[in-house]
Structure 1
Amino acid sequence: MRTALVLLFLLALAALPGALLPQRSLNPQKVDEYVASHGWWGGLLDRLEFYDVYGSVWFSAVYLLLFISLVGCLLPRSLEYAKAARGRPVITPRNLARLPHHHETTVDATPEEVMATARQRLRGWRMAEREEEDGARSISAERGYLRETGNLVFHFAMLGLIIALAIGKMYQYEGQVIVLANGSQFCNSGTLSYDTFRPGLRVDGTDLDPFCVKVDGFTASYLPTGQADHYRADIEYQSGEDLATNTWRPYPLEVNSPLRTAGDRVYLLSHGYAPVFTVTFPDGQKRTHTTQWRPVNQMTYLSEGATKFDPPGVTDPAQRRQRQLAITGLFAPTAVLQGDLLGSAFPDLRDPAVAVDVLKGDLGNESGRGQSIYEVNQEMVDSGRLKRVARENMRPGETVTLDDGTKISFDGVQQWVYLQVSHDPAQVWVLVFAVLIVLGLGTSLVVKRRRLWVRAVPADGGTVLLLGGLARTDQAGYGEEFGRVTEDLLDLLGPEREHADAVTGRES
């Protein structure tokens, strides 16, 4: 047991770096920045797996040793408990006066009457009655077995919790995705459907629980201070047989009120805005894009982003790279101008506006590197291959015309929602074992293990009643219980003694 406690302390100590240092499973970019800014020290921590604490060799070793220690602790204790449960209470000590709680008196009753009265009072106790020398009789009683039961339940539940957490770590997955609130759909068909995806150790992303979600609209209410008060996404979903019949079921998705379907949970995390731009090229062709922009101020929802366009009908790669467009800048749901700078005064759509730079040239899409949808490749700007051709503040319906006749119009704005899909097959078991841990620990702390002995020794003119009590724990309070049992026995024996005297008198 001491070994298990030491390992439990080491496990808590080993988990500290996971809370103090950035973890690669949560934010790889943050880890790279931390390593770069801390030189050799950051590199050493990386080699020691301090940025992957919960998957590291040393954390797994402590976890496994704790599991083995608990098993080695519980097996012998369970055998001892089973043996004690089948056994009888220990025999009555020879000298009850040596016990911490004892009482001796003489009653006018036979030993058989004393034993019957004791059995009646100690109903619910585990008892064993024995014959002793010189005609004496005794009862051994014991109570509080639930203490050890609670102790075992606590440790077995802790063992089950460890197993459930390990299974959850292997088979859980979690992904986030942004969906436009204009009837756009998201289907849990594979990892490519997500913007970010964190699989468990045994999940490869090819066997996800199939379901689809369609976001029809989003509403938000705010306090006068601009703080969010309520979010609600009106969604429809289908899973199971609904996928075959193309049946959609409505559901009001709110924060802390996830959709539970196909063994997964869909959470509403946040929302944002997606400006709608239309580009009319010199040949008359139009392209309209709605791209989500990310909030840079969570109170006012001032957002930044980039909406990118490829010229239509251009098949030559070199020409296409020279004529690509990007609209970058800021979006304000409630616009305020601070000089020439655009700001936002409130997070709701009261007076939307954008401040944009229009860039033309090579966006670097064919460089082979992944790019953020929220910004352009700065290397292309620095090299002069992507140049700014216009800068403008625009409100919905306004248009800016470039030198080559290209027209860019700001058509309006739509909203997007940020959804998280979580799958944890061991979640229910984690909850069950956590509840059992609390119940088992509470039982082991509240219930007292105690023993009581009653001995009736025949004597001239009555019976010597000897009582002894012993608490098997250090908890206070057994003295009061022993006193109550003693008083109850004497009260029960008192009327019997008076009744016996009266009968004797009538017979005489």
Structure 2
Amino acid sequence: MSVRELAKEQTPKQVRLGPVGWLRWGWRTLTSMKTALILLFLLALGSVPGSLVPQRGVDPDKVARLYEQSPALAAWYDRFQLFEVFTSTWFAAVYLLLFTSLIGCVIPRAATYARELRRKPPAAPKNLSRLPHFASFESDLGVERAAARLRGQRFRVVTGDGWVSAEKGYLRETGNLFFHVALLGILLAVGFGSLYGYRGNVLVVEGDGFANTVAAYDRFIPGSQVSAESLEPFSFQLTDFKVSYQVTGDKKGQALDYSAYLKVNDSPGAPARDYELKVNSPLEVDGTQLYLIGNGYAPVFKVTDGKGQVAYEGPVPCLIVQKSTQTAECAVKAPDAQPSQLGFLLRFLPTSVPLTDGTYTSAFPGALQPEVQLFGAYAGDLGMRSGKPQSVYEVVPSELKDKIKPVLMGTAATKPLAVGQSLELPNGAGKLEFTGVKEWITLQTAYDPGRMPALVSAATAVVAIALSLMIRRRRVFVRVKGDGTVDVGGLTRTEGSAAGFAEEFADIVKFLSAGEKDVR
């Protein structure tokens, strides 16, 4: 046999895992602590865009504004589901993998912990001086008295022929296990809330009301187990909305406080009650919470068509384009106008002031001198009867530009209309009158049955991690010799806690060596 053949025979053959082996390897990798920490980090990292990028379920107005200001960037955000982070596919994948990983961690840990609870401390070593902590003293202390004193210090004690073995600090493993169980509880609570909870957004104008029904929402996001009958049947009317602003200093115009005054009916037929809704004081009705998340202006218009009939009259919510001054844009549509439908594109100025170049702007967010400025008046088919959805902030959809003709166009220098003033359209096409100003608020309704379980689980996790970090697992051994010498040894089972155990060990030795009267 040649050297090459001999080397070939002695070379170990590579063992192939096979399908079962790869599955076992994948499961062990997924359920390892390292993988769980990586997934937890990814979940936290994935939550960051949910705080930085406006979410459709929380602030749809900001999402619409981003589409107008940066359509290319908004398209990329939408492509990666950044407008709906917490319901996105990639966030759900990380969530489910973390859930599976935690289950795989908790079950073996629970079995190990159960075995540890039944396990007795080991017998004392013969030579205690080799332990990290050691002391020796002369005493008539016997095995039974030493065991009794250690039990009084909440040690788990086992005795033998001339020796005592004691251990304490089992709560460290308890804290570790409960921390993982609490994390699993948080994930379960979040999942339960997403199945049986719902969220919705609605815009309400002063003087209008709202009933908690699916049809009343501007945007409704139900869980998969939520039906129309699941909603609490409460209602309210927005009687007034007030905002206070800073009027002097460098922060002039900054909002100081928001208050929405509601008349709330907790159920059909229930008496109305007054409630002041504020940003940090949500309205709660049987577990359903109502949050104030935005506000703006809704100027009131009256549109008269070419035949002298009132084609539209009412408030029109405006989309804010400049937050610092509450400058906003409105679209007024009159689909019932004759002989042709009318549409108006307007800009609302809460405190209108003229500039030196002839244009107009708003100098303050409060409605001190409200005016509206016409940017365009259109006549033709607005497409509102086609059944296709349209933006309420857009007058002329791109696909209908050929069917609509401009009647009157304006610029930033067009003289605005004050309350009570009107504008006649050319050729008797109609008239637009600015009759008043109201305010609107946007509300988010949230029902999350997993909220309290998540809170309890989070509190449990905090307590559990504190136990895991603060408690040390330690052992104390005592050997009573025939010549009256008592040897005491100690060690810790927690890495890095030897220094902290030295003082406690000295106290234990002092307690064991004390006389019977001193102990009492």
Check whether TM > 0.5: yes
Letter in 2 for 1:347: P
Letter in 1 for 2:125: P
Match of 1:502 in 2: none
Match of 1:68 in 2: 100
Match of 2:366 in 1: 348
The 8 Å contact of residues 360 and 389 in structure 1, kept in 2 or not, is answered as no
Alignment of 1:337-376 (within 5 A): 337-338=354-355, 339-356=357-374, 357-376=376-395
Per-residue CA shift, 1:140-175, capped at 9, x if unaligned? 221111111111110110111121122222233211
Alignment of 1:301-340 (within 5 A): 301-311=326-336, 320=338, 322-338=339-355, 339-340=357-358
Which shifted more, 290-299 or 49-58?
A: 49-58
Alignment of 1:46-195 (within 5 A): 60-107=92-139, 109=140, 111=142, 115-116=144-145, 119-120=148-149, 122-132=151-161, 136=162, 138-182=163-207, 184-190=208-214, 192-195=215-218
**Following TM superposition, by how much is the alpha carbon of 1:489 offset from its aligned partner in structure 2, in angstroms?**
2.6
The 8 Å contact of residues 397 and 409 in structure 1, kept in 2 or not, is answered as yes
**Following TM superposition, by how much is the alpha carbon of 1:311 offset from its aligned partner in structure 2, in angstroms?**
3.9
**Following TM superposition, by how much is the alpha carbon of 1:122 offset from its aligned partner in structure 2, in angstroms?**
4.9
Partner of residue 446 from structure 1, selected from 470, 492, 515: 470
CA distance in 2, matches of 1:364, 1:282: 19
Match of 2:6 in 1: none
**TM-score (norm: length of structure 1):** 0.82
Letter in 1 for 2:389: G
Q: Does 1:383 align with 2:402?
A: yes
**Following TM superposition, by how much is the alpha carbon of 1:177 offset from its aligned partner in structure 2, in angstroms?**
0.8
Distance of aligned partners of 1:379 and 1:434 in 2 relative to their CA distance in 1, 3 Å threshold? same
Which shifted more, 346-355 or 195-204?
A: 195-204
Match of 2:487 in 1: 466
CA distance in 1, matches of 2:174, 2:288: 35
CA distance in 1, matches of 2:447, 2:398: 39
**Following TM superposition, by how much is the alpha carbon of 1:439 offset from its aligned partner in structure 2, in angstroms?**
1.1
**Following TM superposition, by how much is the alpha carbon of 1:196 offset from its aligned partner in structure 2, in angstroms?**
2.0
User: Structure 1 vs Structure 2: percent identity of aligned residues?
Assistant: 34
**Following TM superposition, by how much is the alpha carbon of 1:106 offset from its aligned partner in structure 2, in angstroms?**
1.8
Match of 1:289 in 2: 314
Alignment of 1:27-46 (within 5 A): 37=72
Distance of aligned partners of 1:67 and 1:281 in 2 relative to their CA distance in 1, 3 Å threshold? closer
Distance of aligned partners of 1:25 and 1:346 in 2 relative to their CA distance in 1, 3 Å threshold? closer
Per-residue CA shift, 1:348-398, capped at 9, x if unaligned? 111111112333332222344321111201437742623223655210111
Alignment of 1:365-444 (within 5 A): 365-379=384-398, 382-383=401-402, 385-389=404-408, 391=410, 393-402=416-425, 403-404=427-428, 406-444=430-468
Uncovered stretches (5+) of structure 1, i.e. residues with no partner: 313-319, 497-508
Match of 1:234 in 2: 261
Letter in 2 for 1:124: Q
Distance of aligned partners of 1:438 and 1:332 in 2 relative to their CA distance in 1, 3 Å threshold? same
CA distance in 1, matches of 2:518, 2:403: 110
Which shifted more, 339-348 or 73-82?
A: 73-82
**Following TM superposition, by how much is the alpha carbon of 1:309 offset from its aligned partner in structure 2, in angstroms?**
1.6
**Following TM superposition, by how much is the alpha carbon of 1:62 offset from its aligned partner in structure 2, in angstroms?**
4.6
Distance of aligned partners of 1:495 and 1:367 in 2 relative to their CA distance in 1, 3 Å threshold? closer
| Corresponding residue SS for 2:152 | coil
The 8 Å contact of residues 156 and 168 in structure 2, kept in 1 or not, is answered as no
CA distance in 2, matches of 1:429, 1:495: 49
| Corresponding residue SS for 1:477 | helix
The 8 Å contact of residues 279 and 407 in structure 1, kept in 2 or not, is answered as yes
CA distance in 2, matches of 1:378, 1:188: 31
CA distance in 1, matches of 2:493, 2:65: 55
**Following TM superposition, by how much is the alpha carbon of 1:14 offset from its aligned partner in structure 2, in angstroms?**
6.8
Q: Does 1:457 align with 2:489?
A: no
Letter in 2 for 1:235: L
Distance of aligned partners of 1:35 and 1:377 in 2 relative to their CA distance in 1, 3 Å threshold? closer
**Following TM superposition, by how much is the alpha carbon of 1:37 offset from its aligned partner in structure 2, in angstroms?**
4.5
CA distance in 2, matches of 1:24, 1:181: 25
Distance of aligned partners of 1:188 and 1:489 in 2 relative to their CA distance in 1, 3 Å threshold? same
Letter in 1 for 2:316: T
Distance of aligned partners of 1:35 and 1:162 in 2 relative to their CA distance in 1, 3 Å threshold? farther
